[in-house]
Structures are given as structure tokens and as C-alpha cells.
Structure 1
Amino acid sequence: MTVQRGRHFLQIPGPTNVPDRVLRAMDAPTIDHRGPEFATLTLSVLEGLKSIFQTAGDVVIFPSSGTGAWEASLVNSLSPGDKLLMFETGHFAMLWQRMAKNLGLDAEVVPGDWRHGVDPAQVESRLAADRKHEIKAVAVVHNETSTGVTSRIAAIRRAIDRAGHPALFMVDTISSLASIDYRHDEWGVDVTVGGSQKGLMLPPGIAFNAIGPKARAAAKSARFPKAYWNWEEIIAANKSGFFPYTPATNLLYGLREAIHMLLEEGLDNVFARHARLAEATRCAARGWGLEILCLEPEEYSNTLTALLMPEGYNADILRKVIMERFNMSLGTGLGKLQGRVFRIGHLGDFNELMLAGTLAGVEMGLSVAGIPHAKGGIQAAMSYLVDPRGKEKDVQVASFEQRANKTEIRS
């Protein structure tokens, strides 16, 4: 077995690198989860999470993956047979839809090409046509981790309002929370789903529902059986700083430290940092002559970039080369994108020098794997990072032209 020296570059779009401060915070004795010290911890974390979700309402914490928080959002607010409007924006949107169907919900899916976010005009049109208000909820993935496409949540909220429709609005922020601007209250979201392992810079293991008053009211008449996922029992126990189950105690230590780190930097600065590093990554992609999967610049993700391989080349072979030669993990293509794309994660505890190393690994990997590309991607990214106003200034950018709007993704 080849011995690798130096640190491993974990550049998948989550789980992300866990910063030392968070690791040290979790490296503490486990305390009594029924004692006063734990109650203080819980109340501090719950208050901090409100700032992260930008809500004055309740945030519920589950010891689970984001998948558990998906299920909690559905079973607490809906009833078997209810109609749910969902959108095919990528792999995770379809997994949420499959869960809804498995639970016995009538999940209607608006088809998509995996290269665009949710179209607010389609939302408005479909809801306006639902004169009997049979649709009980609209469910949207804010940032689709499989594609690097971000849907415009505020615009979708306005579309729902223009249609005059009473449907609940549910949003998955698993790969956008604490990385891309998100405003639960201001944007009129009823249930927000989140997870610990991406922008919150924690290991996997805890997930969240931020719950608005309309969703709390809907929960009173929701008929799905639930026990572990029951919002009301958790909210009641949280009032005194406890949980109706054994919580992930040491992860909560880490969460408290992660919240401190985010608020120290300031959320606006966190969002700006992610936007800057994301655009630098896209500068590199253009320099290499590789096609960005997302077709709409206003929908580019600031937490990951998915790049299409040239025709006839396999992304997983490239990923294998980069892993074996340069000890760096990149995200694989998921679902119908398997082998077609590789994904560069640029979120969480991440800075310019870490990005430069990541992009160097990609460019070297392209050369080693014999993938057609132009040189200069790294230089384009560095030029942007030095002077974002003079984007790609004095840099010989690839002569390859983007094939945007020409490549069709087929099942």
C-alpha cells in the first residue's frame, strides 16, 4: 500500500473538514444529559441556531442525518394522501420525493434537466391552477448538492404569494445553511431542513427543522403517526434545556463552538467568503475549458461546483487518479450524472490557500489522466482572488469555449 504524507484534501461537498476548534470542543467528557450543565448547553445552542437560520421561531435538533430531518418535516405537518408539489432539480430532490411517496404522500414532481433550479413561474402557474387547494405543501431543495445549482427561495416565495395559495413552503438547506444567504422568516418558509456536516463544519450526526407558526398550526391536525420525530414533544422538553431522548451530547459541544465561529466572522462575511471562493473555482473551470453543469449564472452554487467531463471521458477515472496521486477526494457524480461530472466542494472552514491547493490537484489530475483541457485554470483563479474586480485580468484564459446550452443530460 502506498504511504501518503501530508494532510488529506477532503474536497467533497460534505461532510466537510472539521476545524480544530470544533474538534477540541467535542474532545470533552460526556456529561449528564439530565443535569444543569447540559441544560445550559442546550439553551445556548438553540438560541444560536436561530441566528443561523435567521428565525425567531423554534428550531428542533434531531440525532440523525439530514434524511431524518426530511422525514420529520413531512410527518409533522402533513397527513397520508396529501398532495405535495416537488421539483426534479437533482439527485437529492428526487430522494426527498421518493421518501414522500414511500410515506404515502401524493408527490407530484415537476420534471427538470438537473441543470437549472426551480422556476418560480412554474410554481406560480401550477399553484394558480390548483383552485381547490389540493396541494398542501411545496418542497424545494435550496442548493442541490448533486448538481451545484441553487434555487431562488425568495422568488419562489413571491410566486406562491402571487398565486394566493395556502400551501406550506418547505426548503432543504442541507448544503447551503451557514454558507449561502438563507432567511427562514423573511422569505416566509414554513419548514427548513438542515444538517450538521456541511456549512456548520461538524461531523454528520445531527439535523434540524426550523419551524414557522403556520407549520406548527398544521402539525395539530397532521395524521401521520410519529414518535421519535414529534416536534411538540421535543419543543416542550427544550423549554427547560432537555430532550425526550438521549441527545448527541458531544456533537452539541461542537455545534456550540461552530456557531461561535460563524457569528464571530459574521454571517454576511461568511456568505461573501463562500461567494468569492466559488467564483474563483468557476474562473479555474473556464480556464481549463471545462463546462460548468449549472447553466444559469444567477443559480451558481457557492458551496460546490459540478464540472462536466469532455465527451468520452469518465469522471470517476479522473477522481481515482487524483486520489491516488495527490491524496485528494472529489465528489462523484450521482444518479444519472454518474461518471459524467466531478464535484469540487468549497465550503465550511475553507480559505484561499486551501482552494489554491485544491485547484492545483485538479489541474495536475487532468494532466495525469490525459483529459483534454487548457492550462491556466489555477492562474485564472489566483488572479480573481487577488483582484476580484479585474476578474481574470492579464490571464490567458482557455481558448476552449463553454458548451453551455448544448450538452444534454440523459437518463
Structure 2
Amino acid sequence: MTEFQQIRHIGQHHLFIPGPTNVPEEVRQAMNVPQQDMRAPDFGEFTLPLFAGLKRIFRTTDGAVMMFPGSGTGAWEAAITNTLNPGDKVLMARYGQFSTLWVKMAEMLGLEVICVDVPWGAGVPVKEFGRILGRDKDDEIKAVFVTHNETATGVLSDVEAVRRIMDECFHDALLFVDGVSSVGSVDFRMDAWGVDLAVTGSQKGFMMPAGLGILAVSPKAMAASKIATMRRAYFDFADMLAMNRDGYFPYTPPTPLLHGLKAALALIEAEGLENVIARHHRLAEGIRRGVRAWGLDLVAEHRSLYSDTVTAVRVPEGVDAREVLRIAYDDFGASFGSGLARLAGKVFRIGHLGAFNDGMALTALALAELSLVRAGASVPMGAGVAAAQAYFADAAGGQGYAVAAE
């Protein structure tokens, strides 16, 4: 290790990946608790408000919310196995690594997947979904899957538009939404958009360590779970709901994480969910303006698709994004997200969700600039930071949201 690389171990390591995200000190301290009796008579007094708080974040009054020890991927599996049958036809699209993984899981679980492939950088193909659903006169397609925020590409898809096209086709399929990197950070409206199953995890917008797969289920999906024949055991809705009604769990819950969730929900509610969403948009726009000032392109094909939780940046021709990541980590004590699968070496990602503020955004841009230049990219030093500063200064004066909407 060089003397320069030893310096990076002094001070705080900078985490700019799209998950797991930075854990606020209030949340971290809240998890530092002794183990407790999860069958105690007063345990429900602690946990029931957590379920109510999660429903407010999902914006559902009709749906039920469950927490499974695990990741968002575990919640994916719970959603599928509880509501569908082996051999069911489902409509999905691949437009990034995580939508691709969801397709793979559906196939592994025995579903017949009708898959639409679109370029990585595009969003959910609403019109093509409409054509396919319009031809399905007998409702053979039992579910439509949408990755709301594709973390690999920095693309936010229009879930509301998918529900609208389903309704226009008078189609009765369930609507599944992967909201792992969107729920709690960007606008998500389960009831208003007619979402039947929404999946997220603790390690993104909820500002916690990984360990909780969180799932919201509509009454329609709950009815489907009572007649679905796919095998499940650990992830069974019926077992979970029977215990959750009184605030308990069918198996040992990760109580320190539940204490962290209590603190995280308090932070979100103190800021106000609408303000959380506005903050994410403002910070994301500052990052995007910084990237444009470098003269670099985003993976997202159009500004209407820009994610407010992660920005995927294409490096210049002749520059290896993996070298940018290495330099950032080794020389500057910073972690950025890597390009996944077909984007490896071509893209690096800046995560800007959860406990994230203006100073962190400016630091991310400054360290990314340094890393790009050391990796051989010709980007104007300071340009990205200056562009973001100008935007944030404007936003601080009350002009930022109007500028962002132009």
C-alpha cells in the first residue's frame, strides 16, 4: 500500500453506491439494543406502529404490509409464490440488471414468461405491454411486472401508465412492482396506481442495513394468495398475517432492525414524505447537471426517465469505468456503484438516496472528477461541482424546483 493510499483510511469513507445506503446516526444508535422477548405481551405495542408507518410510506390504506427477514429479493419470491400458480403466464420486460434478475426468478419458479426486451436505458415498454394485453382476450396473462426504478441504469419507469393501459384493456392481471430503490425516496402511490404487490428493502430509502424484505399486498392479491398453488413455507402470507395482526411474527424477527426501522420512519415523517421526495429530486438534478458539465452522457435515454435515486454515467471512449472505481476507492476513500453485466467497464453509478444532502452530492462529484481524470478522462476539473453548486444555490433561494421542471 502506498503512502497516498494509507491516507484514505483517515477520516470517513464516502459511500456513494445506490445501496446499501448511509445509515443515519439516529438509526444506528437505535439498533444498539439488547435482545428482547419477541413473545412478550407488550411486543405488539412496539411493532404495530411500524406496520402503520410503512403503510403511509407505500401510500396504501387498503393493503397489508409484511416484513420478511431477508432482502428485497426474498420479498420478490414471497410475492410470486403466494399469488401465482406453476405455469401461469406473466408479462415482464428486461431493461436492466434487476429487471433481468426478476425474469430469471419467475422462470426458475415455473412461470411462463412473456418477456419484452428493450435497450438498457429505456423504461418499461408501456405501449408494447398494451398491445400484448389487448390481444389477451381470455386473460391468460395473470400478472404484469414493472421494475419501477432500474438501479443498474438509473431509469425510472411510469407505473401509473402501466396501470392505465391495463385498465384500458380491461385486463384483470395482478400488477407487481419492484420498488426496492424507489419506495420512500420517489413518488410511489400503491392505492392510486392500482398496484397489487409492491416490494422494497430496508437498505435503500429506509436508510438501514440490509435485512428486511418489505412487501405491500392489495386485497386483490391477498384473495389470490388464498387459492394460489405454488409451494411456499417460510414466505407464506397466511402464517405471517395471522401473527402480524397482533404485532408478532411466525419466527424470530430481527428486533434490532425493527428498532432501526422505528427511528428511520420517525426521520422520514419528521421531514415529511413530500419533502423527502422533493429533496431527492433536487439532489439528483444537481448531480445530473454536474455530469452534463463534464460533457458525459447518462445511460437513461431521456430526461423523462431520469431516476432521482441513482445516476448511471457513461465514461468516455477509451476509459475503463472499473479503473475509475478502483482509483476512487484506493486513492480517495470513496465507493461508487459499478456498471453491472453488459454495462461493466462502461458505466459507473452515483447513488444519491436515503440520508443524502447537498454537501454529500458535491463531494461525490468532486471525487468522481478526480477519479475520472486520473483514469485518463478529459473532463474539466471543477466543472461538475460548479454546475451543481450553481443549481443548489438557486434551489436554496426557492428557484430550484422551477428550474428542474423546465
Of 217-226 and 164-173, deviating more is: 217-226
In the other structure, the counterpart of 1:387 is 394
In the other structure, the counterpart of 1:341 is 347
| Deviations 1:76-118 (CA, angstroms, capped at 9, x unpaired) | 0000000110011200001011011001101111011011111
Aligned partner of residue 234 in structure 2, secondary structure: coil
Aligned partner of residue 257 in structure 1, secondary structure: helix
Question: Distance between the aligned counterparts of 1:37 and 1:282, measured in 2?
Answer: 48
C-alpha RMSD of matched pairs (Å): 1.2
In the other structure, the counterpart of 1:274 is 280
Would you say 1:26 and 2:24 are equivalent positions? no
Question: Distance between the aligned counterparts of 1:60 and 1:255, measured in 2?
Answer: 13
Indicate conservation of the 8 Å contact 2:118/2:125, yes or no.
no
Which amino acid is 1:387 matched to? D
Would you say 1:92 and 2:98 are equivalent positions? yes
Equivalent residue for 1:242, pick from 228, 244, 248: 248
Deviation for aligned residue 1:312? 2.1
Question: Distance between the aligned counterparts of 2:41 and 2:256, measured in 1?
Answer: 16
Would you say 1:145 and 2:151 are equivalent positions? yes
In the other structure, the counterpart of 2:21 is 16
| Alignment of structure 1 residues 284-299 onto 2, 5 Å | 284-299=290-305
Question: Distance between the aligned counterparts of 1:363 and 1:37, measured in 2?
Answer: 52
| Alignment of structure 1 residues 35-54 onto 2, 5 Å | 35-54=40-59
Would you say 1:127 and 2:104 are equivalent positions? no
Of 231-240 and 73-82, deviating more is: 231-240
Question: Distance between the aligned counterparts of 1:323 and 1:352, measured in 2?
Answer: 21
Question: Distance between the aligned counterparts of 2:335 and 2:400, measured in 1?
Answer: 31
Indicate conservation of the 8 Å contact 2:392/2:400, yes or no.
no
Question: Distance between the aligned counterparts of 1:190 and 1:384, measured in 2?
Answer: 38
Deviation for aligned residue 1:208? 1.2
In the other structure, the counterpart of 1:321 is 327
In the other structure, the counterpart of 1:397 is none
In the other structure, the counterpart of 2:160 is 154
Aligned partner of residue 338 in structure 2, secondary structure: coil
Would you say 1:210 and 2:216 are equivalent positions? yes
Please give the TM-score of this superposition, normalised by the length of structure 2.
0.95
Equivalent residue for 1:174, pick from 169, 176, 180: 180
Question: Distance between the aligned counterparts of 2:222 and 2:389, measured in 1?
Answer: 48
In the other structure, the counterpart of 1:61 is 67
Aligned partner of residue 139 in structure 1, secondary structure: strand
| Deviations 1:191-220 (CA, angstroms, capped at 9, x unpaired) | 001100000000000011100011011111
Question: Distance between the aligned counterparts of 1:102 and 1:94, measured in 2?
Answer: 12
Deviation for aligned residue 1:310? 1.2
Question: Distance between the aligned counterparts of 2:102 and 2:87, measured in 1?
Answer: 16
| Deviations 1:15-57 (CA, angstroms, capped at 9, x unpaired) | 0000000001000111101013422121011111011111112
Which amino acid is 1:35 matched to? A
Which amino acid is 1:24 matched to? Q
Question: Distance between the aligned counterparts of 1:249 and 1:38, measured in 2?
Answer: 10
Equivalent residue for 1:369, pick from 369, 375, 383: 375
Aligned partner of residue 70 in structure 2, secondary structure: coil
Equivalent residue for 2:79, pick from 61, 66, 73: 73
Which amino acid is 1:87 matched to? A
In the other structure, the counterpart of 1:5 is 10
Q: Which runs of 5+ in 2 are unaligned?
A: none
In the other structure, the counterpart of 1:402 is none
Equivalent residue for 1:193, pick from 175, 178, 199: 199
Which amino acid is 1:9 matched to? H
Deviation for aligned residue 1:167? 0.4
Deviation for aligned residue 1:121? 1.4
Deviation for aligned residue 1:225? 1.2
Aligned partner of residue 360 in structure 2, secondary structure: helix
Question: Distance between the aligned counterparts of 2:194 and 2:400, measured in 1?
Answer: 37
Equivalent residue for 2:317, pick from 288, 311, 317: 311
In the other structure, the counterpart of 1:116 is 122
Which amino acid is 1:224 matched to? M
Deviation for aligned residue 1:60? 0.7
Question: Distance between the aligned counterparts of 1:234 and 1:226, measured in 2?
Answer: 12
Which amino acid is 1:6 matched to? G
Question: Distance between the aligned counterparts of 1:30 and 1:169, measured in 2?
Answer: 38
Deviation for aligned residue 1:358? 1.1
Question: Distance between the aligned counterparts of 2:222 and 2:47, measured in 1?
Answer: 21
Question: Distance between the aligned counterparts of 1:53 and 1:199, measured in 2?
Answer: 12
Q: Which runs of 5+ in 1 are unaligned?
A: 394-411
Question: Distance between the aligned counterparts of 1:297 and 1:36, measured in 2?
Answer: 52
Indicate conservation of the 8 Å contact 2:282/2:400, yes or no.
no
| Deviations 1:97-151 (CA, angstroms, capped at 9, x unpaired) | 1011001101111011011111321221110011121100001100001000000
Deviation for aligned residue 1:233? 1.1
In the other structure, the counterpart of 1:231 is 237
Question: Distance between the aligned counterparts of 1:225 and 1:292, measured in 2?
Answer: 42
Deviation for aligned residue 1:390? 7.5
In the other structure, the counterpart of 1:103 is 109
